[in-house]
Structure 1
Amino acid sequence: MLTPPFDPVALAVPFFVLAILLEILLAKARVAHAYYETKDTFASLGMGFGRNIFGILTAGVTFAATIWVWNHRIFTVPFDAWWGWVAIFFLEDLTYYWFHRLSHERRFWWAAHVNHHSSQHYNLSTALRQTWTGGLSGTWLLWLPLAWLGFSPAQIAIQQGISLVYQFWIHTEAIKRMPGWFEAVFNTPSHHRVHHARNPRYLDRNYAGILIIWDRMFGTFEPELDAEPPRYGIVKNLADFNLLRVAFHEWIAIGKDLAGSRSPREVLGYLFGPPGWSPDGSRETSAMLKAQWRSDEARSEG
């Protein structure tokens, strides 16, 4: 099957809207903990709308490439086989983990992902603050091996949609903790608050989509501590809510750095080094911020 019989994200849109409105109402009634800033919320909604527009630019290429790889598959996974859905659930989620990790650890792909982290608030509208340039950055290539293994383009698209829908509800401060067994296996609001935090302790952690087990397996898990509440946003927060700046500010910064590059090493570093990389080390990467934090912690304990 080439085209999915349904789109999980499209079906979930009414739920997204109702859930955001409910969270706002509960926050105003002081029943739930959530903070909304009007300009910030509209920026998130605008980014979500823009994602659909920009997605059209690369949808054809992505779909054609997936079909081409699937036509050269080494197996065929029946669309109606239960075991195929179990397999793609785990394989797609593992793919998402590595896509998400790459999008934080290498600047070229961070430029396409940073806008999702640019809000200094954490509420359900933040989940809709999606990239406009993700398709252009080529991260969709990471899902092509699933087609090569025999999963149809329709099956891959459905599972991607399920993952995206799941990740909506974890963008909230209204839910403190889930039951222990759930926290151990699945991505939760607590785990994802850590991911969106700019505290040095929490930087570049908890990349999970649905299953937090990948972070536990690959050493990127960090629990949320009540003693250190997350501070949201990026290391150097934006000063406005202009959608064009939210969407393209890191690409513009890369362009400026490339224009001033003096060697192939600097070009590669500015493109594919970690965010914050500079030839002389004058800027701060996540690793540098975490090292400084550990040093300060050790000094205070001593």
Structure 2
Amino acid sequence: MQDVLHALFFVTAFGALFLAVIAAEFVYVRRSGKSGVYHPRETVANLAAGFSYKIVDGIAVALFIQAFYLWVYQYGLQWNPAASAVSILALIVFIDFCFYINHYMMHKVRWFWSGHITHHSSEHMNFSTALRQNFTFAFSGSWVLWWIPAALVGFDKNWVLLAIEGNLVYQFFLHTEQIRKLGVLEKVMNTPSHHRVHHGSNAAQIDRNFGGIFIFWDKMFGTFRSEDDAGEIKYGVTRMPEKPYNPLYLQIHGWVEMAQDVWRHKDLRIIYKHPEWVDEQYGDQQAALAKSPLIEKI
């Protein structure tokens, strides 16, 4: 019960902070005479998706993710270092590396992408876009790649929870066009400039800049693209959702479409191949398939 209360506290405290920042950005762009930054219906959809995601995710963390963490912990190295500047920094860097792997896999495996596509389906970049998440994340299993390596190393679960929440809070502030370049920080840290590239749907922008707090993972593993070299950024995904303002549709259409593809082609490889593999494999046959009666009712 204590873990559930902690989860609800995180939702309430950071939810209030995020809403305040969104409101401040909205006022700023209005007073600056800028247009096209916020779209009212899209913003409402973002907020609704974010609320459902964080409630479900918080309860999932409290009810079974931390329990699984503790079960794995007993079989790991059980390092459990004392609190110090070095151990805290090591945890922050390690958790961010695990996020990089998790994030990369969410783009490369159709099962994981079916939930993550929600976050990329916004046509605008503003702080509310950060909240455009998917409540099915807790059930997709990709969180294992983020949480469990730390259990095997032996970090305290409460430390890990704080590190992950801190990582997510940092990433919230990457979703804006109002901050351009941050000088020398661009070399090491993930910044709004780097993250704008990540949200682009043009060829030079797809599957780039996966880092959470740090950008050097992308530079190390060849997934980095500077905004200066990315061309004009078009936000969204290559195949935009048909109902971009319906929060429920936004969070389940990826799963429905994946299930459709598996059923139609009788090919389970679709589940673990990259998201575009079905189009590459089945070509015109895939493009000609009829829309789903189920998803059109949502």
Q: Which TM-score bucket, shorter chain as reference? A: 0.7 to 0.9
Aligned partner letter, 1:273: K
Match of 2:272 in 1: 272
Alignment of 1:222-241 (within 5 A): 222-225=225-228, 228-240=231-243, 241=245
> For the Cα contact (< 8 Å) 1:34–1:122, is it kept in 2?
no
> For the Cα contact (< 8 Å) 1:27–1:34, is it kept in 2?
no
> For the Cα contact (< 8 Å) 2:114–2:254, is it kept in 1?
yes
1:260 alignment partner, SS class: helix
CA RMSD between the two structures: 2.3
CA distance in 1, matches of 2:116, 2:230: 29
CA distance in 2, matches of 1:146, 1:214: 18
CA distance in 2, matches of 1:35, 1:108: 31
Match of 1:282 in 2: 283
Structure-2-length-normalised TM-score:
0.86
Alignment of 1:69-218 (within 5 A): 69-142=72-145, 143-179=147-183, 181-218=184-221
Give the gaps of 5 or more residues in structure 1. 284-302
Q: How big is the shift at 1:33?
A: 7.3
Number of aligned residue pairs: give it: 277
Aligned partner letter, 2:18: F
Deviations 1:209-239 (A, max 9, x none): 0000000000000011288221101111123
Go from structure 1 to structure 2 and tell me whether the alpha carbon gap of 1:271 and 1:5 turns closer, same or farther (over 3 Å shift): closer
2:29 counterpart of 1:22: no
Structure-1-length-normalised TM-score:
0.85
Instruction: Report sequence identity in percent.
Output: 33
Of 50, 54, 62, which aligns to 2:56? 54
CA distance in 2, matches of 1:71, 1:33: 54
CA distance in 2, matches of 1:227, 1:199: 9
CA distance in 2, matches of 1:220, 1:86: 24
Give the gaps of 5 or more residues in structure 2. 285-298
Q: How big is the shift at 1:152?
A: 0.9
CA distance in 2, matches of 1:120, 1:144: 33
Q: How big is the shift at 1:281?
A: 4.6
